[in-house]
Amino acid sequence: MWFFTHVWIIPALMALSFLLILFFGKKMPKKGAEIGIVFVGAAFVLALLTGGNWIAWSNDNPKGDGPAAEGAALANVDPSCSSVAAEAAAAGEAAEHGEGKKGEGHSKDAEGHSKEGASAATSAPLGESAAPVAATTSSAEKAGKEEVATRPVVSCINWFQNGDQTISIGTLVDGQSVLLLIVVTLISLLVHVFSTDYVHGDRRYTHYFAFLSLFTASMLFFVLSENTLQMIVGWELVGVCSFALIGHWWEEKPNSDAALKAFLTNRVGDIGLLVGVIVLYFAAGKSFSIMDLNILANEGEISHNLLLIGSLCLITAVMSKSGQFILHTWLPDAMAGPTPVSALIHAATMVVAGVYMVARLYPVFFEGLSISGSSVNALSMIGAITALFGAMLAFVQKDIKKVLAYSTVSQLGFMVTALGVGAWTAALFHLFTHAFFKACLFLGAGSLSHACHHSFNMVDDMGGLRKIMPKTFWTYLVATAALAGVFPLSGFWSKDEILAGTGSFPGTTGANGEYHVMLVMLLLAAFCTAAYMTRTIWYAFYGEYRGHGTPHESGPRITTPLIILASLGAIAGIFNLPAAFDFLPEGAQTRFEHYVEPVGLYFPAITHAGFNPALAVISVLVGLSGIGLAYLYFFKDAFAGLHGLAERNKVAAFFKNILVNKYYFDWLYTTVIVGFVKGPLARAANWFSANVIDGTVNLVGKTAVGSGSWVYKNVDQKVVDGAVNGAGSSASGVGAMLRLTQTGRIQQYAALFFAAVAILAGVFVVVIG
């Protein structure tokens, strides 16, 4: 338990590494690189120990299923992190002692749709009743298998107070997060070692290693997030670090443009992330907890419409972060950064963040998109389109890194499609294997560039390097074969599992739906993958050397990571050998599924497609046919008549131009949308400001001046001043009259007094008489 409750130390180590390198790196003998390597090495060791403890923890699960077992599985969830999980654990404990009423509440039919139970507690407010959550049919039972519920360990502390609500921050440890801990720290360690040679003497060497550490810390923070608000923080930190690393050589405008493009494109998708998290926050009864959200979604306690809206919003974020069509355009341009950064971004960190988020919140997507029993949904369609059309773009690239970038786009499409068809384990397994062989390929491209005076143009500046750089060649070849799905390398096992997961090939059993279109598109993408990777081998390693200077094999700090990654890319498939291989010991089958895939209340009751030998043979033949045709075209010149076809044929030229211009998405975004905003829209806004807004303001001003002038002349001067002047004149007249009597002479006043008395006396005499 210590490793699970203290797993926060792993990202904290990398954050501390960032600070130490930033403040003390330039004073160190290796300019801070040694700090980064020591800390990421320590993080990797801790991740391995955490993984070993998770395996032991999983094997030590108490046997059984049903409400009691599923409730007991949530006993290690801190109640302050998830009230719903706490209620489920309490109800499970009550059920274990015979106090619960089994069968009440919500359950799911064969299609996975929620249906009302008999319990009156189903009408209770969200999260207030434990009965609908815990007293449900076991997830394992619904899937038709006897599994032991996963025991996630969730810990948290108070983060901040918002009114009467306390927002927590913490860690969620289960097979999924432990897997990414190991993958991220291992790839980051190898990238750190590789970088000591590759960027040696760089003008911002210390800065580079500082941000490598922060990038790793951000991804680990995201992976361990206990709630969706925390995931947003990790998500954005990864984006900021990628901006800094892609634009590492910011003095060159294309590099800074690429960094800005990545940053701004991801902000577009992040709008969907924010809206989706807000929708799901209210849907879960004002809770950001991942456990609360997953349990409520899985048990039918959230309306389908809210789950659909939330999942569609989050898919927008996946499209940007994980390079899915139509927000994929930033990813190939991100090759402007140093090659080790490209390996880290495209193999284990930033681009798989979207895939990880979908996997972590899978009940939301599984229920919201009605994945079970379906044949198409938004997630599977976007993934399949990305897999095929991303692969096609790789054929027209001269830059070897851009070939690998479009390959990453395509492989991410495979993962997203797998999640969209219900093949959760296949998606995560492909993420796992892809991390090794794709990191090897990117670092191999870096090794080639290092030997060819930092040029990535394989068409014009490489060639004939097979004998000059044997270690780079063989590791690149193994990684290419794994990516192409050649048996028995790791890519074959993970890709075949995805193809089987579509459930549309005859004889396939156990899939969650029948996704016919997805299978066809993925097979075409697999064919393209094998063909364009064979093309890179031809241009880089065969023929005559077309570059400058004398190339040479890279040093051990570059080739050693290549050997490790190629070896892992070759053998990683053994971690999830099919259950159909019953000639193997039971402990050698589906180990990845057993330790990584969640089972229980916080995960849907998915089924798993069985191994289909016919489909496996076809997938291998598809890959080999791609390799074979590319071999005949490039190595044997068997299709000489096709060379220069685009210059002779208008139809071929039309389709080639579409690929060369990357389906015109950059033209659409840059020329049409941005050009319209910066050009006609900006001019129209300026005209509107100058003529309408300023005109209105000026008119109001002129009207006010005219009105003021009229009021001054007619009201102020004639009425107000006239009245004042009239009053003054009257007062002056009265004063003049008074001045006749008010002389100040006593004798005059006495005479007037006696005169008045005499007149008054005369009046009295006349009146009385």
Task: Report CA 168 to chain centroid distance, whole Å.
Answer: 21
Distance CA 413, CA 389 (A): 10
Co-location of 559 and 598 in the same domain: yes
Taking CA atoms, 345 is separated from 245, 404, 460, 511, 610, in Å, by: 10, 12, 27, 32, 33
Distance CA 294, CA 298 (A): 6
Q: What pLDDT is recorded for position 119?
A: 30
701 in a structural domain? yes
- Residue 766 parent element (H or E): helix 746-768
Secondary structure of residue 227 in the 3-state scheme: strand
Taking CA atoms, 118 is separated from 99, 103, 105, 299, 649, in Å, by: 17, 8, 6, 14, 69
Instruction: Using DSSP bridges, classify how beta strands 107-108 and 114-115 pair: parallel, antiparallel or unpaired.
Output: antiparallel
Report the domain count for the chain.
Answer: 4
Phi, psi of 140 (to 5 degrees): -65, -40
Co-location of 468 and 393 in the same domain: yes
Name residue 342's beta-bridge partners. none
Q: What pLDDT is recorded for position 256?
A: 87
Cβ atoms of residues 358 and 364 within 8 Å: no
Residue appearing with tokens 């997030």: 225
List the structure tokens of 667.
Answer: 């033209």
pLDDT in tens, 308-366: 999 999 999 999 999 898 888 888 888 888 888 888 888 878 889 999 999 999 999 99
Q: What pLDDT is recorded for position 543?
A: 86
Taking CA atoms, 169 is separated from 12, 166, 222, in Å, by: 14, 10, 11
> What rounded mean pLDDT belongs to the chain?
84
221 in a structural domain? no
636 in a structural domain? yes
Distance CA 14, CA 668 (A): 40
Residue appearing with tokens 């059993």: 509
Task: Report CA 511 to chain centroid distance, whole Å.
Answer: 27
Cβ atoms of residues 615 and 500 within 8 Å: yes
- Residue 434 parent element (H or E): helix 424-451
What sign does the CA torsion over 459, 462, 464, 470 have?
negative
pLDDT in tens, 710-758: 888 888 777 877 787 777 777 777 766 666 666 667 777 777 777 888 8
Domain range for 499 is: 376-660
Co-location of 297 and 281 in the same domain: yes
Co-location of 496 and 553 in the same domain: yes
Residue appearing with tokens 């490209």: 342
206 in a structural domain? no
* Residue 92 exposure: Cα atoms within 13 Å on the Cβ side: 25
**Residue finishing a domain among 634, 660, 686:** 660
171 in a structural domain? no
For residue 718, give the amino acid letter: K
Cα torsion 488, 492, 496, 497 to 10°: value is 90
Co-location of 704 and 637 in the same domain: no
123 in a structural domain? yes
468 in a structural domain? yes
**Residue finishing a domain among 370, 394, 412:** 370
Q: What pLDDT is recorded for position 98?
A: 61
Distance CA 293, CA 289 (A): 6
Co-location of 630 and 680 in the same domain: no
- Residue 431 parent element (H or E): helix 424-451
Distance CA 217, CA 194 (A): 19
Q: What pLDDT is recorded for position 45?
A: 96
Name residue 169's beta-bridge partners. 157
Residues of the chain below pLDDT 70: 61-69, 93, 95-147, 735-744, 769
Cβ atoms of residues 189 and 41 within 8 Å: yes
Alpha helices in 681-745 (DSSP H): 682-687, 694-710, 721-741
Q: What pLDDT is recorded for position 36?
A: 92
Co-location of 447 and 471 in the same domain: yes
Co-location of 642 and 742 in the same domain: no
Q: What pLDDT is recorded for position 147?
A: 59
Angle (deg, nearest 10), helices 424-451 and 353-360: 170
Co-location of 562 and 677 in the same domain: no
Distance CA 369, CA 173 (A): 26
Task: Report CA 535 to chain centroid distance, whole Å.
Answer: 31
Co-location of 653 and 697 in the same domain: no
Q: What pLDDT is recorded for position 115?
A: 37
Co-location of 352 and 410 in the same domain: no
Largest CA distance in the chain: 157
Q: What angle do CA 441, 357, 208 make, to 5 degrees?
A: 50
Cβ atoms of residues 137 and 103 within 8 Å: yes
**Residue finishing a domain among 660, 675, 701:** 660
Residue appearing with tokens 């999942």: 311
Distance CA 474, CA 440 (A): 11
For residue 475, give the amino acid letter: T
Phi, psi of 160 (to 5 degrees): -160, 165
200 in a structural domain? no
Q: What pLDDT is recorded for position 201?
A: 81
Q: What pLDDT is recorded for position 484?
A: 92
Cβ atoms of residues 565 and 436 within 8 Å: yes
Co-location of 546 and 435 in the same domain: yes
How many C-beta atoms lie closer than 10 Å to residue 713's C-beta?
10
